[in-house]
Amino acid sequence: MSVKRQVLRAEVQEMILDRLTQGSWRPGARLSIDGLARDLDVSPTPVREALVALERSGLIRYQALKGYVVAEPLTPQQIAELIDARVVIETAAMTRAFAHWEELTADLVEAHAAHQALADRIAETDEPPYELIHEYFLADAAFHEAIFRHAGNRFLDSMRETIHAHAHRMRQTWSAGPGQIDSAEAIAEHAAVLARVQERNHDGALQTLRTHLEAVGERSGGMQEAAQE
């Protein structure tokens, strides 16, 4: 058992990332280095490093001599491009993951069960707390991650990570809006993908996966419009 060797920078980064994904700050809000340092009771140095790292993830923007701000939500155009890019890499990952079909199937079944369980809990709750919603999104993402895990290509996987941060920016739009979480649709679409995988139907799996992603884009666009009103 190795000792956890972490530095303050990592903790600070985690902390800020949490607040970003919780939506504690509105898009466009300024992230003051000194302010964050005071708030977290550390010096500005680790904060600066954490912000540089977060900037590269796309969640925040940086302007020289002015500071960092929370990235604006994705425009409909950007959402369309994001979905398009996801279709490209996720279908590619699916194709490669079929080489390890047994393990893929097992993992997807497990991930889908966890996803469904969380969806059920949310459906039973009138006003689901943030923690639950956060867990739900993680479970949703885990289903897609499983595909990449068996694709055996670390570069495709790193692209998935890049996409992941932006996918959050997409979700944030509708969390703010009046719309409900799309758990019913997402579960149904994941189930369809899983069914094709279990049948070892490669082309069908690609097709249902593509359909699912495009539906996510559609829903997101719709919710965004609703949120704007």
Q: Provide the binding-site residues for a copy of itself, judged by CB under 8 A.
A: 5-7, 10, 45, 48-49, 52-53, 55-58, 64-65, 78, 81-82, 84-85, 88-89, 92, 96, 152-156, 158-159, 162-163, 166
Q: Which is nearer to a copy of itself, 159 or 186 (CB)?
A: 159
- Please list every residue from 60 through 119 that binds DNA, using CB under 7 A: 64-68
Specify the residue, 7 or 184, whose C-beta has the smaller distance to a copy of itself. Answer: 7
Which of DNA, a copy of itself, none does residue 33 bind to, with CB < 5 to 8 Å depending on kind? DNA
Question: Cβ 178 to DNA, closest distance in Å?
Answer: 31
Query: Please, which residue, 92 or 227, has the CB nearer to a copy of itself?
Result: 92
Q: Please report how close the Cβ of residue 31 comes to a copy of itself at its closest, in angstroms.
A: 15
- Residue number, 41 or 102, with CB nearest to DNA: 41
Go through the chain and tell me how many residues it has.
229
Number of residues that bind DNA (CB under 7 A): 23
For residues 145 and 137, what is the distance between their CA atoms, to the nearest angstrom? 12
Check binding of 15 to DNA (CB under 7 A). Answer: no
DSSP string computed for the chain: -------HHHHHHHHHHHHHHHT-S-TT-EE-HHHHHHHHTS-HHHHHHHHHHHHHHTSEEEETTTEEEEPPPPPHHHHHHHHHHHHHHHHHHHHHHGGGHHHHHHHHHHHHHHHHHHHHHHHH-SS--HHHHHHHHHHHHHHHHHHHHTTT-HHHHHHHHHHHHHHHHHHHHHHHSSPPP-HHHHHHHHHHHHHHHHTT-HHHHHHHHHHHHHHHHHHHHHHHHHHH-
Residue 1 or 64 having the CB closest to a copy of itself: 64
Residue 132 C-beta: closest distance to DNA, Å: 32
Cβ 58 to DNA shortest distance, Å: 18
70 — alpha (psi -120 to 50), left (phi > 0) or beta? beta
Number of C-alpha atoms within 13 angstroms, CB side, residue 39? 11
Nearer CB in complex with DNA: 23/67: 67
Show contacts with DNA in window 27-56 (CB under 7 A): 30-35, 37, 42-46, 48-49
**Does the protein bind DNA through residue 19 (CB under 7 A)?**
no
β-bridge mates for residue 30, sequence order: 69
**Residue ranges that bind DNA, judged by CB under 7 A:** 5, 7-9, 30-35, 37, 42-46, 48-49, 64-68
